[in-house]
Amino acid sequence: MAKTYINGIGCVSAQATVDGFPSEFALDENTNFLELVKPEYKDYFSPIASRRMAKGVKNGIVASTLAMKEAGIENLDAIITGTGMGCIEDSDKFLKAIIDNNEQFLTPTSFIQSTHNTVASTIAINLGCKAYNFTYVNGAVSFESALVDAKLQFDADEVSNVLVGGIDEMTEYTKSLFKLAGFIKPDESGPHKILGSHTKATVFSEGATFFMLSDTKTESTYAELVDIETINKLELSKVGHKAIEFLKANNLTQHDIDAVVLGFDGDVEFDEYYKELAREFAFTPQVYYKHVSGEYNTASAFGLYVGSNVLKNQEIPQQLKVNEVEKPSYHKILLYNQYRGIDHSFTLISI
């Protein structure tokens, strides 16, 4: 089976990640939604094209361009994306037009651009890439589903360079619905402490993170993508056992792991899953990231971005530390994520 290496990363998020991995992260504990740090879109496409693009499409193009540029890759064997909400901005526009126009005289533009595979297809059109192009819409494991697809193709020696990304966007209308549903913490309810939170719901955001995966290790390599596993439902008491099983399948034990990256999001009801795993790895450096990225369906892609940079830089930023356990070096990292008790994922990366 061929190896799978992360050779380039592009990230558009609530942090200044377009220029690389931040040396310091901006923290705002008084808001329930972390606003995106917008890149200079005019550096990537014309203002005319920009006006026709939804946020997710623009951010996806920027992030994918950065990942490919860093890896020095121009020709792709596949483009695979994951998204939980898709291009919700255009979906909102189309549904509003249906109501406002009494279901008559509708223009198809917003409907065409609202499909979940718009980002992957737009990237392919811009590159003139006619290779395998697929988008996974699978809740909070949408990004991991894309990773699994790519990994299987590498294992079968069918590809050499694959662009994989996770993209989600948010609109004011959808945000209001999420607040009503209790997914986002109430307005004016801060400050929000992600670790040690005593309230339900989360601090939300949006973003796009792309990875250039290749079968060859280069000077730009961050890490090797070793394995990914997703589980729809998992009992709280079995989280630690499942993590150990996952490592055992890769001929590893808990003590072989140099750090764990956990998706703590401040929801007191569901952060128990992370606490359960943290107890199993109490002797291991622990990392969290959703206090700087916010929560969204593909936020785990930001988690992989963090884990990959820890391996490349051999350092865990102080602002991302859950505990004060340290290792002299980092070689293997386990990532775990879930959302509201379902869509669990385990990802293993190494150098």
DSSP per-residue letters across 303-347: HHHHHHHHHHHT---GGGBSS----S---EEEEEEEETTEEEEEE
Percent of the chain at pLDDT exceeding 70: 100
pLDDT one-digit tens code per residue, 30-50: 999 999 999 999 999 888 888
Which two structure tokens, joined as six digits, stand for 327? 């290792």
pLDDT one-digit tens code per residue, 134-144: 999 999 999 99
Which two structure tokens, joined as six digits, stand for 295? 């929560």
Q: How would you class 325 by CB atoms within 10 Å of its CB: exposed for 0-12, middle for 13-18, buried for 19 or more?
A: middle
- pLDDT of the residue at 89: 85
Name which residue leads in pLDDT, 197 or 90.
197
Q: How far apart are CA 208 and CA 299, in angstroms?
A: 9
- pLDDT of the residue at 102: 85
| Single pTM value for the model | 0.95
Q: Are 10 and 67 in contact (CB under 8 A)?
A: yes
Beta-sheet pairing, 78-82 with 207-214: unpaired
Region 167-179: mean pLDDT is 95
Q: Which of the four pLDDT bands, split at 50, 70 and 90, describes residue 72?
A: very high
Percent of the chain at pLDDT exceeding 90: 87
Q: Give me the sheet containing 342-350, strands edge to edge.
A: 132-136, 78-82, 161-168, 207-214, 5-12, 223-233, 342-350, 332-339, 259-262, 286-288
Q: In this structure, what DSSP letter does residue 136 have?
A: E
pLDDT one-digit tens code per residue, 295-334: 999 999 999 999 999 999 999 999 999 999 999 999 999 9
Which two structure tokens, joined as six digits, stand for 67? 């990942």
Q: Is 166 helix (H, G, I), strand (E, B) or coil?
A: strand
Structural domains in the chain plus CATH codes: 5-214 (3.40.47.10), 228-350 (3.40.47.10)
